[in-house]
Amino acid sequence: MSKIGINGFGRIGRLVLRAALQNGAQVVAVNDPFIALDYMVYMFKYDSTHGVFKGEVKAEDGALDVDGNKIVVYNEMKPENIPWSKAGAEYIVESTGVFTTIEKASAHFTGGAKKVVISAPSADAPMFVCGVNLEKYSKDMTVVSNASCTTNCLAPVAKVLHENFEIVEGLMTTVHAVTATQKTVDGPSAKDWRGGRGAAQNIIPSSTGAAKAVGKVIPELNGKLTGMAFRVPTPDVVCL
């Protein structure tokens, strides 16, 4: 069985662990420099959006114990300092949102990682969406991107439409749930004035790179799609 490490135990990292456990995957290590072990237990157990984790979660001998599976915890700031090989982690989920290029994500190899999957769009790493272009993956690729949440929604739809009717030009709109970058109350946002409005009180027009990213996943649609987003006061689910 492949052994997985997770870098970044925030919103995405915790959900990756839940998904891994539900699908029988083995997570052996987690790294996050900002979250102490006891706080990891609390944050993983109780999720305001997805509910209480049904299994048992505790701190045991300096590790995160989930249903008897001990997960080694590291608190390193730099990827190159994470000793993945000590925990046996070969496949790393890079979910900090910071190390999103091939060069930055490749720092994980210093600690013994063999492959890295970036949980966000990347400027230069090959991007893959399940059901769309996985057949283009080759074993020599060591750093790949799973694109964005919106791209994972848009690309399968665009693929079906293009194969059956042909897309000449397209405009997409995503009604998007609140994200961590938004404000809880009105606050300063010099680069995006609208984005500074309180997330729970407003429907906020915003930009999205999902339409452009589809062109990387489906090359024949490159330059044919554009789009925009509306951030709405909901904690989860997106309407495309």
Question: Catalytic residue numbers?
Answer: 149
135 exposed, middle or buried (CB, 10 Å; 0-12, 13-18, 19+)? Answer: exposed
Q: Which two tokens stand for residue 20?
A: 């891994």
Helix, strand, coil tally for the chain in percent (to 5): 30, 25, 45
Cα–Cα distances in Å, from 224 out to 158, 166, 170, 176, 220?
Answer: 11, 11, 6, 22, 8
Query: What is the enclosing helix (H) or strand (E) of 84?
Result: helix 84-87
Give me the half-sphere count of Cα atoms (radius 13 Å) on the Cβ side of residue 177.
9
Q: Are 102 and 117 in contact (CB under 8 A)?
A: no
**Amino acid at site 28:** V
Cα 176 → chain centroid? 15
- Helix, strand or coil, per DSSP, at residue 62: coil
End-to-end CA distance of the chain: 36
Cα 192 → chain centroid? 23
